[in-house]
A and B are shown apart, each in its own frame.
Chain A
Amino acid sequence: MGQNIQSLIGQLDQADTLDDLQSIILTLRDQFRIDHAVYHWISSDGEQFGCGTYPTDWVQTYVDNDYLRVDPVVIGCYQRFHPVNWKRLDWSSKQARAFQKEAIAAGVGNQGMSIPIRGPNGQYALFTVSHTCSDEEWEVFTESHQRDLILLAHYFNKSALKIAKGRKPEIVKSLSRRETDALTYLAMGYGRGQVAEMLSISEHTLRVYIESARFKLGATNTTHAVAKAITEGLIVIGGAALGTSGDWPGKAPNGA
C-alpha cells in the first residue's frame, strides 16, 4: 500500500481540476478496496468543492429529506479535527436508525470513517470512506490505514485549496466562519439558546450573526436562511450525503 499512497499523493500534487480529483478518488477507492470515498469542502464564496463515489440519487434524497438534521456523521464531525469511526457515533434515535437503513439501502455501506479537516482561515472540510463489512473487519481496516487516510484527506484538501485559488473569483455571498457555524448548528436542529452556548456568545450576539447571514443570503427569515444555506451548499453536509463530482446540490451537473 505504501507505494500506492506515494502515487496517489503524487497525482494529487499534479491535480489542476475537479475532474482530476474525481479520477484520483476513484483510484483511491479501488486501491483501498472499499465501497466509497468522498471529499467535500465549501469555499468562502460559497462554491462547493468535492469529489466522491456515492450514487447520485442518494444526494437528492438527502437534501429533499433535510437529513442534515439527523445525520450522526454531520453532528459528530462538525468543527471537530479527530478521525471519527461511524461506529462511535450516536445512532440510537429512531430517526438516525431509519436514516442509516436508508443510507445502507442506497449503497453507502454499513461502515464508515470520516476525517474532519481544519484548514487555513477557519476552513472546514470532510473526507469520508465507507464500506460494507463486519465491525471486526472495519476495525482492522481503519487501524491499519488511518494514518494514510488522514494524510490523503489533507492532500485532497491541499489540492482543492490550490484549485480554488486558481479560479476566477466571483462575487458570491460569503459568510464568516461564525455566521456559518451559527447557521450550521441551527440547521442541525439545535435551539438558539443552545447555539449561543455552544459558540460561547450571548443570544444577542447570535441574533446579530443570524441577521447578517440572513441578509447576505437574501433570505426572508431564519428558517429560510438555513434552508438556503443548505441548498446553496454553504454548509458542509455529512459523509453520507454527497454525490459525485460536479453534481453537488446547487451546482450544474457536468456528467462526471
Chain B
Amino acid sequence: MLRYLYGDQLCNYPKLADSMFRDRAAQFHERLGWDVTVDDRGWERDAYDDLNPLYVIWENHEGSHGGSMRFLPTTGQTMVNDHFVDLMDGVELQSPFIWECTRFCLNPNAESRVAAALMLAGGELMRAFDVRHFVGVFDARMVRIYRMIGSSPEILGQTGKGRDMIAVGLWGYDDKARESVAHRAGISPELSEKWFLKSFGFEPRLQLVA
C-alpha cells in the first residue's frame, strides 16, 4: 500500500523507515555511486531528511519498503535552490505550488508496478493540495528510469555530458494520465484515494499518547 508520512511519523513505522533508508543506501551509494553519507545504521540520510519532509512510500505486504520519494516545498530550504541554482541560470524556484521531489528510490526486488504507484501518489498530492509542479535534480542514469516509468521531466537546465550529465527537471500534473497510471499500478483510483485519506485524514494514533 501507499503511505504518505512526514519525517516525524516514520518512528511509528520502524521497519518501513529502516528498509527505506537502507534501500536508499543501496541505490544511491552502492549502485549509482553518488557522494552520499551512509551512517552506522546503514542508512543513507542527508540534511534534507532533518527538515521533516513528506515521504511517499510503497509498503510491501510484510511491512518493508518497496519504493519511495521525498518532498519539500520550495518556499523553504530545498536541494535544488541550495546547490543547483547554477543549472538554473541563478534562478531560485520558489512557490507554494512547486514542491521539490528527491531521492526517488526503488527496492531492487520491487514489482514493476511500484514505480507507477509512486507516480499515482505524486498525482494525488498535486490534486489534493493544489501543487502544480514537482522539481527535482537527477543524473544520466535516472533518465532511463524515468523514461521506463513513463514520467520524463521537462529539463529546466543541465550540465555535463553523457554519464556525467546532471539536470534539473520539472514534472507537471496531467489529469488525463491518472487513469492509465492507476491501471499500470494495478490500483483503482478509489483505492488510491482511500490510502490517501488514511494518511491525511483521521487515523487513530496508537503510539502518540504520552
Partner of B210, one of A88, A154, A189, A198: A189
Partner of A88, one of B45, B129, B200: B200
Interface size classification for chain A: 20 to 34
Is A81 a contact of B210 with CB atoms below 8 Å?
A: no
* Cα(A127)–Cα(B10), bound, Å: 26
Q: Does A254 contact B (CB under 8 A)?
A: no
B23-64 contact mask (Cβ, 8 Å, vs A): 1 or 0: 000000000000000000000010001111010000000000
CB closest chain-A residue, reference B52: A79
Partner of B75, one of A89, A154, A178, A199: A154
* Cα(A200)–Cα(B9), bound, Å: 10
Give the interface segment out of A37-45, A103-111, A117-125.
A117-125
Is A92 a contact of B204 with CB atoms below 8 Å?
A: yes
Count residues of chain B with CB under 8 A from any CB of chain A.
Answer: 33
Contact status of A83 and B201, CB under 8 A, knowing A150-B97, A194-B207: no
Closest CB-CB distance, A210 to chain B, in whole Å?
16
Is A123 a contact of B76 with CB atoms below 8 Å?
A: yes
Q: Does A146 contact B (CB under 8 A)?
A: yes
Is B129 a contact of A82 with CB atoms below 8 Å?
A: yes
Give the chain A neighbours of B210 by CB distance below 8 A. Answer: 189-191, 194
Is A79 a contact of B201 with CB atoms below 8 Å?
A: no
Q: Does A101 contact B (CB under 8 A)?
A: no
B94-112 contact mask (Cβ, 8 Å, vs A): 1 or 0: 0011000000000000000
Closest CB-CB distance, B77 to chain A, in whole Å?
7
Q: Which residues in B have some Cβ–Cβ distance to A below 8 Å? A: 6-11, 45, 49-52, 54, 72-73, 75-77, 96-97, 125, 128-130, 197, 200-205, 207-208, 210
Q: Which residues in A have some Cβ–Cβ distance to B below 8 Å? A: 79-83, 88-92, 117-123, 146-147, 150-151, 153-154, 178, 185, 189-191, 194, 197-200
